[in-house]
Every structure is written in C-alpha cells, then in structure tokens.
Structure 1
C-alpha cells in the first residue's frame, strides 16, 4: 500500500490542476510525464475540439452597408476590408462560439470538465468569458457562472484592452445583463473603458450598486472616464450621457475627479459651471470637503457675480 500511495496521490492532484500546471509539472521528469500524459492528452483534445470551426458565414461588403457589431467581433483581425466596397469575407465560428451564444451549457461543461482552460482565447484573441458576456445566450447567466466557477479571469484584456465588463457593455441593456455583470463584479471585475461606466448605470434599478461594486474592486474612475468632457457629453439623441444625480454620486465616490486640470488649464469646476451647475449646488449643499477651495479658486478667476448667477439659474 505504501508503494502505491504516491501514484494515487499523483492521480488525485492531476484531477485538481489546470492545463498550465499540468504542463509545467509534466516537464519535471519522465516519471511525472508518464503519469500526467493521459490528462494532458484530454486537455489537448478538448482545446482542439473547442477551436474547431463549426460554422462559416460569407458576407458581402458594399459601400454604405453597416456590418453588425457581433460580426465584426467574429472576423479574423483585419479580414473585413471595410475600405474596399464590393468585396466579401469569410467569417469563421469556432465550435464554442455558437455554444456560448445559444446557451448550450452542456457543450461548455464538457469542455471544462475535460480540463479545457476557462481562459481559452478564440482566434480573434477574445477570452471565453468576455465572449459569453457580450453574446452569451440565456437570461440567467449560466454560461458566465460556469466559466467563473472554473476559474475564468474577468480582468484579462482583449487585444483592444477590454475587460470582461467592458466587452459585455451594450448601449441598450439586454435581458440577463444585470445578472451577468453582478456575477463578474462578485469575482473582482473592474472597468477600464469610458462607455462601460454608463452601461453599468443603464443596466437597471441597481445600476448604482453595480458602479459601487466596480469601484470597490479597484476600478480607477479617472482612468475609466478619461475626462470631464466625457462625463458631460451627450448621446446621439441629445440626452445627457450621465444624469446630474449620477454625476453627484461619482464625485462623492471619487473626490479626485474634482482635481482634474486639462492641458489648457480648464478645471473640473470650469466644466461643471459651464455645463452642469447643478452639480456645484450639490457640492455646496452636501458640504463636500473640496468644494470651498475649488469655489474660491473659480471665483478669483471668473468673478463672484458670474458664479452666483449660474447657481441661481439652477433653481429657476
């Protein structure tokens, strides 16, 4: 029994290691390589199967035609010749892509149980979790939950430097978005793209809670929103990108947003007084610790009368 125990332990540990760990351990000596070869073969076969092209679709590119966003995400990088009207390109869908999109949970489960990596990337460089966040089918977030349970990393970056939350952000919230985003946030997900913050707010009644979770996880709000110009921007329909209430919440959660100064010397309060003076009223009413100094600096530069007139306009 003593002689067999190490072999049993090797098999036990093999069942609890990921592909990378197995590969590294198998290179330590021939004995280990023999013991783990079967597991390595299973992983290799599962990966090859997952990346096998199951579906192809050829599209024509004509001048003036818009290509659906999900198709652009599927093509080999640079394959769609947007500048060459009248040409066509072949979109290739690996086996796991339709499985994720159509909520084929068992297909994904079989891949993961065969020790396929939950952080596998498709040929376009997109990780499985990110793809499931953007195009995953179903309203109950089963695909996302399964990937996270097996160790998917939500903050791995796509070739476009997008996290899973960034990649899954849509202008128009879809059924299941809130559940998917909350799961990723519970696993430490952060934001890194300006548009993602707005989509967390837009996802539903709990948007504010999701934003707070992202900040607790370490989201750098100044890096994410990039400028007050973005915070005060408008949608294509002319609506405010962020409501006054949301802006007030953001400066409360991240006071350093108020310390921004552009290369041309414009301060955060310059933007606020010029485009959303209601935020200044909020800062004054709540006794924000940075407000007095910012107000005095602005008054010295622009004048007290202008300052008071802009605040008065808010209550009219």
Structure 2
C-alpha cells in the first residue's frame, strides 16, 4: 500500500468521524428542541385553563379578563406553530453529511413521506372523462368553486408547454375579495401550476409563502363507463403543525368535492364524449391543457370509449 493511499484513507476516516460527531450533535439539538416544545404544551394548556376558570368564576367576563384570555390563547397557538422539525432536514446540516447517511433515492423517498399530508379515496358514479374534463378546465376554479375559493379569479395564462404524455400550464390567480380567507395562506396574486402527467394523473401546485407550496395529486381510475375511482393526495412543506394542517386539508378537499358533485352530474347527463372530439374542443387559453389531452388521448369517439373502459 502506498503512502498516498494510507494518507487518503486516514483523511477519509477522520472526515467520516467528524461527520459522525456533527450528525450526533445535530440530532441531540433537534431532540432537545422537541423536548422543550413538548414540555411547553401542557404548561400553556394549564395556563389557558387556569385563566379561563378564573375569568368565568364569577359568571361574568370583564374586558381585562377577555384580553388576558385572548393573549394567552395567542401565545399558546404561536407555541404550536413554532414546532421544531421531527427529523433532520437537509437545511439543518450540511447536504453532503445528509447524503452520506442516506442515498439520494432514500433521501427523496424520506422527504416525500415527510411532506405527505393527507390521502382521500372515492368511488364516484360519473364517467372518468367527466373528472378529466373538470380537472383540466381552468374556468371551473372561478365557477364551480366560487364559494370555497371566495371569488378567486384567473388573471392570465403565463406559460404552456406540451409534453410527450401531457403538458404544463401556468396561470396567475388573484384574490378578488379583501376578506378572502386564502390571504392567510398566500399572496394576493400568485402563479399556479397545473400539470397533466398521464391520462389518469393531474397535479396542481399552489405557492403559499416563503417558497412553500401545497401540491395536490389527483389520480383517476376508470371502473366502467359510468363509474371511476378518484384519489386525492396532498403534499406540503408548510411549517404549520401537521395535525392542524391535516384537519384543514381534509375539510377543504371534501368541501371542493361537494362543490364538484352537481357539476360532474351535469356533465354525466350530457354527451360528454362529444367534448373529447378534437374538432369541437375549445380554443380558449383556459382550455389549453384539456385540448392537449384531447390531442393525445381522445381525438375521436372510439378512442374516448377505449379510455373510459366498459363493463
């Protein structure tokens, strides 16, 4: 063995030892942060309960007592919001150290699992094509979801790129109402991505704040010419407490599905296959991604029937 080989091996061993120490230190700090945060929760709950009992003991609530309750509640929810990460993130330690302990594939899977928020699954009594038309038609955001999105408007289409199996469209949306609850989540005007990955998979990517996003993956599975299975998976890197975010997202997903129901029923009652003829597809820019689907998978009635399946 040469001197250089021995020197390199010693250097590698020393570097690996240093990385191991750094990793252990980072893990210790992370556990310490989580421990302190967990201890703080019952402390704040005790304080909030004590303040509530004291304030309501005489059967009335003064302005000072109400202010104290609001202040205590504010600090309690702020404490929940400041929850540390459960596990090491590539931003917490040097990326080379992180990748040294998890291969790239494992790291990606770990990150994907960490960001997964909710899954929902439904069997809907509508043709699969109704769902596809609904997902790829941008105008439904303004009409079908007018209530849940509180009059959100599409300002313009900023980008469109066909792909081999689908396409990508980017569009700007604006929160028209000054009291729109979505202002808590995002800027007044943002660029949203809608991606057709396959004939059965659509992705909606919504920016929130500080480069954080909510990503919704819709998957459809034709069961027959009258039913399809519908899957919703939502991912996010928001720093909100995960249980709270999961409750909000479950509620939002179910609300939008309730809004979809009469629209999908109306589509099912029409001759939906007619919409999937290339010559009849809308040329409006809001339907560019739908038209791309028609070009690839439904240019005529026979192809449409083949996609939808039969009993």
Q: Structure 2 length as normaliser, TM-score? A: 0.30
More contact order relative to length (CA 8 Å, sep ≥ 6)? 2
Say which structure is richer in strand.
2
Q: Structure 1 length as normaliser, TM-score? A: 0.29
